[in-house]
Structure 1
Amino acid sequence: MKLVIREYLASLRERGELDAVLPDLLTELGFTIYSRPARGTRQYGVDVAAVGNGRDGVRRVHLFSVKSGDLDRNEWNTASPQSLRPSLDEILDHYIASRIPPEYAALPIAICLTFGGAIDEQVRAEVTGYMTRNTTERISYEEWNGDRLADVILDGILREGLLPPVLRSHLRKSVAMVEEPDVALDHFGRLLRALADTPGATAAARLSQARMINICLWIMFVWAREANNVEAPYRASERAKLEVWHLLKADIGRSGKTAEAAGFVINELFELHFVIWDELFEKKILPHANARHALSSAVGSHASLDVNLKLFELVGCLALRGLWLVWQLAPAKGPVVLNEEYVRTLPAMLAKVNNATLARIDGLCMQLIQIISNNRALLSPIGDWQAIDIGLAFTLLACRPATHGAIDQWTEELVSRSIFAFNVHGRYPVISRSYWDLVDHPSERSEEYRQSSTEGSVLYPMLAQWAAARGRQDVFDELAEFKIESLAHCTFQTWLPDDDSEDNLYLGRDDHGAVLIGVPVTAGSQDALDFVLEEAVNNPHYDALSAVRFGHWPIVLTACRCYRLPVPPQVWRDLLPAVGPLVKDEHHPTGDDAC
């Protein structure tokens, strides 16, 4: 296990990785962190500053100057200000004299040379000589190399009391199998589930468990990045976010340092999830969004089913990232249309940041449209439950007026192609989630088979709602006619949280929530929209979810995507009335942008 951790530490980058992990390790050792890594402010050589007992039991101020990998001649002393020796000089010349808080000013000081690897023997003598020359009665030097940090992890955050041998085994296996994402996720999921079944009895114990999950995910991610396949840690990070939210949600609601510490741990984990998302999507997937069939070909399977399943999953992941960006600008209760009128209500002092966020949202929306346009499998869902990913994508596109037209075009294609496939006994959307059932679909060209495969639907009523909201009466009426002629046996329905969802939603447990059945779709009306919106407004259980109460509604959508639950219609209660045809679209995607 120590070898796994040492390799992980040696692969961490300095900025945003090793210096981000270090505070959690120190906290578990009982240190008090008073300065964390920051961007845009001068740190005078100190990346992390903490107060705690050293190995000799003496209470000291520990000043950590962090570098990545091995400490060689280039990392030790060059003209670059990023070298370690200039940072140590800054600590001696500036930091100690003026930056240590008054309450710690009388304590002895340990300057800690921190790096994930080892010291190159070619510079060992220079480093030792520097430390010897500058050691005084008050100031000492410590070497925190990969070996020592690995011991800190094993004896602290991954100590046997928190991570017993059987769970360490799951961590090792998840790391070893990162190139087989399903297997790696299975082992990491067992580790998470064991923790969820035995949450700490105190806030401090639960925080330790959450930090341990964060470190385990970091270890898995760094190994996967080295293997050039980060799908497994991405999927694991989604589950880790949900597990940690469930673990700490009670502590977030408290006041004082407990809530602050819980919020900080959750934020660290979410930031790691976004780092992994960037590694997977920004670097590997989105550069090919505008190339015809590029992503379909990249699935690496000759089976059209595999391409279909992977592309819809990709759309859901992409939309969810965009909705986290929307969350930064939207009200705490849920997403809204981010039009010019709404943006003007945001604080003027944050205009530059808000405009940058809007630009990134617009970029993701355009890339989503390009992916749909260039990969035609996304016009023909094979599973009714793919309404989950489509619903997430609709939610993102609805948040920007410029992309409302794309909802119309995609809805029209989804409806017409699904109806055609049904009529010719083709690969129409079915309720089964079994891979082998989908491989054989349609296994029979009979009316009995069609009826048993389409006993219920969340896809068609959802498409009807969005068609009605956008004023596409022609598409709505086409669905109404299809319902009468071919789907009289099918229950149009949607899913809603209920009073037991709070205890089960974030952990992916079954048997919670409620089903709203009998969603009407009648030609010449918009009754599907009115029916669902009325329930969304009157049903109190969505607003009672902790993620919604604390203003983190994308967590609910993450749980829906991860555990395959339809998007609750309460998410759309402010969007659907605001995307109507009377609301002028600022731009309708055309040409390469069109679906």
Structure 2
Amino acid sequence: MKLILSTYLRTMKERDEFDVLIPDLLQTMGITPITKGQRGTRQSGVDLAAVGPDITVSESDPTYGKEKLFLFVLKQGDIDRNVWNGQGEQSVKPSIDEIFTDYIRSHISANHRDLPKKIILGTTGDMKENVKPSWSGLTEFYHDKAAFDFWGANEVAGYIEKHMLNEHLFKDDDRTDLRRTLALIGEPTYTCRDFDNLLRRQLGLDVSGNIEAEFSNDQLHKALVRINMAVRMVSGWACNDGDTKAALQVSERALLWSWHRLLKQQTRSTKLKTVYADLCGTYAYNAAAYFKKIQPYCLVRDGLARQTESCNLFTLTLFEHIGLLASIGLFITYCGAGNDELYDYIELNDIADALVGVLKNNPATSSPRLDGQSIDITLAVIFLLIMDRHDEVIEWVRKMINRTCSMFYMRRGFPVDSDNIEDLIELDEARPSRERREELMQTSWLLPTLAGWCGILNQEQLYGELHNTMTKDDFPNICRQLWHPVANDIFNFMYYQNACRETGECEAPIIFEEGMNEYTDRMRQIMASERHQVVEASPAHQADLFGIDFVSSRHFRNPVAPSFWYRFLPEKPDAILAENAEQTQVAEQQIPT
């Protein structure tokens, strides 16, 4: 394990990776970080300051366990002559000199001024032999003012193994699962089941998401720190193999299951809120790595098609990336208010440009092949509307209506209602009978989703085309339906698994009225139903982390609550709204289940 950790550390960057890991490590050692370096500010040589007992020396040392002020100088890679005393501001020797001439004199608070000082040079690599004499000379020169230590990759790996990986619940089974995950994370068919097992044990959950082991707030805090560390290791390993999507999906799972466990803890602990914010930061960082890799392919014609050979696989991959981009954008949009650092990772306009590029440069985006892809479509439309890309959304909806209705009418190339890839392959390659094809289109979430967006976008002509096509005598008999989560129940499930199997109500069959206004009136009645006010009831929304709900929709394939996206409907005159309100109570009881 130490070798794995050491190898992982050598791949880390100083900014946003190594400088994020060290504070977490210090907390598990009982040392409290008090400051950290920031971009664009003068740090007087110190990248991180912390206070706590010194357990890095031998137990026989008189200073063992004594409280000290730790001042860290953090670097990336090996410390050679150029890094030691080069011309740039990042050189080691000038940084340490500046600590004594500036930082210790004017940057230490009165509470810590009299504490013994210990300067630690930390790096993700090693110290070269030709630098060691200079290091010894410098430490001897300042020995009466501070103690010194060097933390290279091997030393940091040792501390991680001792204080983070062996503590409390991180026992042999967890270490074994972590090794397996690291070994297999680059395999395209790997499902991360070993990492899931590790997460469950760390969070004290059984396979159904129920609490299996009761934790104190302190125990849960330490578990979340270890989970964050494990996510960084696995995602870093995946990114080094070029699989940034796998890294992002690991982050999604840890983000959602940890939130699920926090809700069951029923606590308002500031300490837990802080460590969960770190998990949000890890997700945003991995999202940025994924976005940076995929962005160039989004902006060229058929750019994403280069990654696949199968037409079916390409369409599935295409909508998967649409959902990923949209959920990232919505996460940053709705969680950034509570954590400004999230905005540092990705520009929202860049995500919107990339998403629009995918739609314009890949004609297959007008031909969803699985009914469940309506989830990715809804996420993308919500995000693009928030980003004022209305014209692009209207054009996309128009193309999907024309293409999807045609495919249903011809009974080929339509979105399969089972969301089973094998059924999709059968439809395209086995030439099934007419009866079998109609069996694969018995239900549809996509059609009422498109009808709803027609109403929201005020596209009466498009709605009319949709209605007229589906009322043709030889159009297949498709049961149109939507799933509506119930506010009091959905949050017990949606952050841990697919909630459609456990809760909610199905509105079916949905009748497409001839006039679009009648259809949107029905949408408003559902939107006003107290039973379906999931936004106000969302614990993530109440904690200014509403973006988590959209990540859950994509990750666990939970449809976005219609009562939320119906809110994009344009306002109606007060008189009409009052009339609709009188019908709301009746409408609540008319949703077939």
SS of structure 2 residue aligned to 1:508: coil
Of the three residues 557, 564, 587, the one matched with 2:557 is 564
Of the three residues 270, 275, 278, the one matched with 1:268 is 278
In structure 2, the CA distance between the partners of 1:325 and 1:407, relative to structure 1 (3 Å rule), is: same
Using the alignment, how far apart are the partners of 2:534 and 2:454 within structure 1? 26
After TM superposition, the structure 1 = structure 2 runs for residues 322-471 of structure 1, keeping only pairs within 5 Å, are 322-327=329-334, 360-401=347-388, 403-441=389-427, 443=430, 445-471=432-458
> Which one is further off, 486-495 or 414-423?
486-495
Using the alignment, how far apart are the partners of 2:213 and 2:257 within structure 1? 10
Asked whether the 8 Å contact 2:14–2:74 carries over to 1, the reply is yes
Letter in 1 for 2:399: E
Using the alignment, how far apart are the partners of 1:179 and 1:234 within structure 2? 13
> Which one is further off, 209-218 or 173-182?
173-182
Asked whether the 8 Å contact 1:207–1:248 carries over to 2, the reply is no
Letter in 2 for 1:557: F
CA RMSD of aligned residues (A): 2.7
Of the three residues 75, 87, 96, the one matched with 2:95 is 87
> What is the aligned residue count?
550
2:311 matched to which residue of 1? 304
SS of structure 2 residue aligned to 1:494: strand
Using the alignment, how far apart are the partners of 2:543 and 2:95 within structure 1? 41
| Residue 102, structure 1, aligned to residue 95, structure 2 | no
Letter in 1 for 2:544: G
| Residue 526, structure 1, aligned to residue 543, structure 2 | no
Deviation, structure 1 residue 218: 1.1
Deviation, structure 1 residue 230: 1.9
> Which one is further off, 497-506 or 20-29?
497-506
The CA deviation string for residues 220-268 of structure 1, in whole angstroms up to 9 with x for no partner, is: 22222322222211111111111222233467962xxx31x22322222
1:240 matched to which residue of 2? 254
1:317 matched to which residue of 2? 324
Deviation, structure 1 residue 15: 1.4
> Which one is further off, 313-322 or 538-547?
538-547
Using the alignment, how far apart are the partners of 2:121 and 2:353 within structure 1? 46
The CA deviation string for residues 119-147 of structure 1, in whole angstroms up to 9 with x for no partner, is: 111111111121122111x5211122222
> Which one is further off, 561-570 or 384-393?
561-570
Letter in 2 for 1:316: G
Using the alignment, how far apart are the partners of 1:455 and 1:28 within structure 2? 55
The CA deviation string for residues 396-436 of structure 1, in whole angstroms up to 9 with x for no partner, is: 121133x2122221111111111211222211011112221
1:285 matched to which residue of 2? 294
1:503 matched to which residue of 2? 492
Letter in 1 for 2:149: E
Asked whether the 8 Å contact 2:448–2:481 carries over to 1, the reply is yes
> Which one is further off, 266-275 or 490-499?
490-499
In structure 2, the CA distance between the partners of 1:426 and 1:461, relative to structure 1 (3 Å rule), is: same
Deviation, structure 1 residue 313: 0.5
Using the alignment, how far apart are the partners of 2:336 and 2:153 within structure 1? 41
Using the alignment, how far apart are the partners of 1:249 and 1:37 within structure 2? 32
Deviation, structure 1 residue 564: 0.6
SS of structure 2 residue aligned to 1:502: helix
Using the alignment, how far apart are the partners of 1:578 and 1:169 within structure 2? 56
| Residue 537, structure 1, aligned to residue 524, structure 2 | no
2:14 matched to which residue of 1? 14
Using the alignment, how far apart are the partners of 1:547 and 1:437 within structure 2? 36
Asked whether the 8 Å contact 2:485–2:561 carries over to 1, the reply is yes
Deviation, structure 1 residue 161: 2.5
> Which one is further off, 235-244 or 318-327?
318-327
Asked whether the 8 Å contact 1:251–1:262 carries over to 2, the reply is no
Higher relative contact order (CA 8 A, sep 6+): 1
In structure 2, the CA distance between the partners of 1:456 and 1:424, relative to structure 1 (3 Å rule), is: closer
Asked whether the 8 Å contact 1:467–1:476 carries over to 2, the reply is yes
Deviation, structure 1 residue 63: 0.9
SS of structure 1 residue aligned to 2:71: strand
| Residue 39, structure 1, aligned to residue 39, structure 2 | yes
Deviation, structure 1 residue 480: 2.4
Of the three residues 146, 149, 174, the one matched with 1:167 is 174
Letter in 2 for 1:455: Q
| Residue 129, structure 1, aligned to residue 127, structure 2 | no
| Residue 203, structure 1, aligned to residue 203, structure 2 | no
Deviation, structure 1 residue 177: 2.1
> Which one is further off, 435-444 or 453-462?
435-444
> Which one is further off, 20-29 or 454-463?
454-463
Query: % of aligned pairs identical?
Result: 28
Deviation, structure 1 residue 579: 12
Using the alignment, how far apart are the partners of 1:166 and 1:15 within structure 2? 32
TM-score (ref. length: structure 1): 0.86
Using the alignment, how far apart are the partners of 2:427 and 2:560 within structure 1? 26
Using the alignment, how far apart are the partners of 1:321 and 1:509 within structure 2? 19
Deviation, structure 1 residue 19: 0.8
Using the alignment, how far apart are the partners of 1:445 and 1:93 within structure 2? 80
2:542 matched to which residue of 1? 549
The CA deviation string for residues 536-587 of structure 1, in whole angstroms up to 9 with x for no partner, is: 332234422211222221111100100011111233243222699xxxxxxx
Deviation, structure 1 residue 286: 1.3
Letter in 2 for 1:499: N
The CA deviation string for residues 353-380 of structure 1, in whole angstroms up to 9 with x for no partner, is: 99x99x9433432321221121111111
Letter in 1 for 2:354: Q
Which sections of structure 2, spanning at least 5 residues, go unmatched?
56-63, 206-211, 574-593
Asked whether the 8 Å contact 1:252–1:263 carries over to 2, the reply is no
SS of structure 1 residue aligned to 2:150: strand
Asked whether the 8 Å contact 1:185–1:235 carries over to 2, the reply is no
Using the alignment, how far apart are the partners of 1:525 and 1:224 within structure 2? 48
1:187 matched to which residue of 2? 194
TM-score (ref. length: structure 2): 0.87
Deviation, structure 1 residue 89: 0.8
1:219 matched to which residue of 2? 233
Asked whether the 8 Å contact 1:327–1:554 carries over to 2, the reply is yes
Using the alignment, how far apart are the partners of 1:79 and 1:362 within structure 2? 37
The CA deviation string for residues 446-505 of structure 1, in whole angstroms up to 9 with x for no partner, is: 453244222322111110011112222222123223444435441422332442322221
Letter in 2 for 1:28: T
Using the alignment, how far apart are the partners of 1:158 and 1:34 within structure 2? 24
Using the alignment, how far apart are the partners of 2:354 and 2:162 within structure 1? 45
Asked whether the 8 Å contact 1:189–1:236 carries over to 2, the reply is no
Deviation, structure 1 residue 53: 1.2
| Residue 479, structure 1, aligned to residue 466, structure 2 | yes
SS of structure 2 residue aligned to 1:467: helix
SS of structure 2 residue aligned to 1:103: coil
2:576 matched to which residue of 1? none
Using the alignment, how far apart are the partners of 1:331 and 1:213 within structure 2? 22
Which sections of structure 1, spanning at least 5 residues, go unmatched?
333-349, 581-595
